[in-house]
Amino acid sequence: MPREIAVHTDWKKELSALVALAVPVVLSEIGWMLQSIVDTVMVGGLGPAAIGAVALGNALYYTPSLFGIGLLLGLDTLIAQAYGRKDYEACHHWLAQGVYLVCIITLPLMLVGIAASFGFTHVGIAPEVAGPAGSYLRWITLGTLPLLLYAAARRYLQAVGQVRAIMVAFIFANLLNWFGNWVLIYGKLGFPRLGVDGSAISTDVARLSMAAILLGFAWRYERSRGHPLFRRWAGPSLLKIKQLVKLGLPAAGQIVLEVGAWNMATLAAGWLTPVALATHQIALNYAAFTYMVPLGLSSAAAVSVGHAMGAGDPAKARRAGWMALALGTGFMLLTAVAFFVAPGLLIALYTRDAAVMAVGPSLLGLAAVFQVFDGIQTVSTGALRGLGETRAPMWANLVGYWFLGLPLGIGSCFLLHWGIYGLWIGLTVALIVIATTLLWRWNRDSKSRELEARN
């Protein structure tokens, strides 16, 4: 009986600790998404073509930039496990290698974005969308270095349990971004009217502020512990950078495959009409906004599982993963209900354009169908990353999206003439397959680690 009471008490304490870690991270993920939502809403007054231009610009920008962020996701595993075994010097060293990796990859990623910005007019995008989209993409590419520095600092702070600073940084950055959009898009306070370019510039400034805040907080936090972050800053280690890339490359591949699939769907929507593209972007913004909660739980799961594995307690790691999955799935079930109950009201928050209002509610209905599966696959990915497994999510996304979902969606859209609905049906099928695969893999791997520890 005492053993049962102890397990019950541990479960409650672990759930409380997971929630305490997850809430600021979830709010930070929502803050990240709010930047894109604010950009879309603020340019909405310029018309559907401007909304489509921002959608396409972000779609092409985030594929290479998120690859760079994905390369840094190995820091979750390496720093969290080092912190779990109380090796704080190793935590510092891994952050340093992450910063060096950022310096190596920034310029190539920027060149990819700039080169892509000149391609919109050659792939059948409507001229009123293609020109602003290319200009927007060139401007937002300038913010790549602070974006990646922010990503490295964020992985570090999350892994050592300092998550409130991330939330504060996003609150400040979003206020700054909203103000910058208002000033630069519409030419307020004596500034020139820059349209969608103003939105990109505002986002760049906001990202610069995020990087500065997080690096400054990391320095201050470590100094207060008597373990200065920069006093013994590690030099570059090719061996450690290779180890980081080996762990992060599959994670980066998974992100690119997932985001690239949705971006391909956005590009395909651009081959339809500006109204279809604008409707797609609005529905996608809602789906992406709700996705931020399981994405934050995914990060919390990676850190909690990593801490437990570093401390040599795989049973605790398994419990942390399942608790994160329960929280993520429950939340996404609630959002699915909201999408079904009030789709028209949600679309109207963006625009009351009659053509968009006619298509949008049905698209949100499709988004509701895949919400739970999206939550499962996202949190499972983070839990597996805490174990040090990053390859399974990559392969699941490759098969689910690129071998199944996209061919089905594009075929339904253009061959069966189902339009934008066909695209979303294909991607929904992909998410169901990916979620099922990763949930099975998490259960198998975490159970195997626990049994090994018992024996």
The whole-angstrom separation of Cα 206 and Cα 210 is 6
Domain range for residue 27? 2-454
**What tokens does 44 get?**
């909405």
Backbone angles phi, psi at 132, to 5 degrees: -60, -35
| 3-class SS shares of the chain: helix, strand, coil, % to 5 | 85, 0, 15
CA dihedral 416, 420, 426, 427 (to 10 degrees): 170
Q: Which long-range contacts (CB under 8 A, 24 or more apart) does 90-95 make?
A: 91/156, 91/159, 91/160, 92/222, 92/227, 92/229, 92/232, 92/233, 92/234, 93/234, 93/237, 93/240, 94/156, 94/240, 94/244, 95/152, 95/153, 95/156, 95/218, 95/229
DSSP 132: H
Mean of the pLDDT values across residues 433-452? 92
Whether residue 226 is predicted with pLDDT greater than 80 in this model: the reply is no
- Per-residue pLDDT band for 6 (boundaries 50, 70, 90) equals very low
- Nearest C-alpha neighbor of 90 from the set 103, 77, 109, 102: 77
The whole-angstrom separation of Cα 67 and Cα 263 is 14
What's the predicted TM-score (pTM) here? 0.78
- pLDDT at residue 1, rounded to an integer: 46
Whether residue 99 is predicted with pLDDT greater than 70 in this model: the reply is yes
The whole-angstrom separation of Cα 18 and Cα 439 is 19
Whether residue 4 is predicted with pLDDT greater than 50 in this model: the reply is no
**What tokens does 167 get?**
């939330």
- Greater confidence (433 vs 57) lies with 433
Q: CB–CB of 405/434 below 8 Å? A: no
What pLDDT, in 10s, does the model give residues 396-424?
999 999 999 999 999 988 888 887 788 88
State the SS3 of 223-243: HHCCCCCCCCCCCCCHHHHHH
Mean of the pLDDT values across residues 172-178? 89
The whole-angstrom separation of Cα 190 and Cα 202 is 16
What DSSP string describes 4-73?
HHHHHHHHHHHHHHHHHHHHHHHHHHHHHHHHHHHHHHHHGGG-HHHHHHHHHHHHHHHHHHHHHHHHTT
Winning range, highest mean pLDDT, from 124-138, 263-277, 311-325, 343-357: 311-325
- Per-residue pLDDT band for 9 (boundaries 50, 70, 90) equals low
Mean of the pLDDT values across residues 449-454? 82
Q: How many residues does the chain have?
A: 455
- Nearest C-alpha neighbor of 27 from the set 163, 209, 161: 163
Q: CB–CB of 107/171 below 8 Å? A: no
If one counts the domains in the chain, the total is 1
CA angle at 315 for the pair 314 and 317, rounded to the nearest 5°: 60
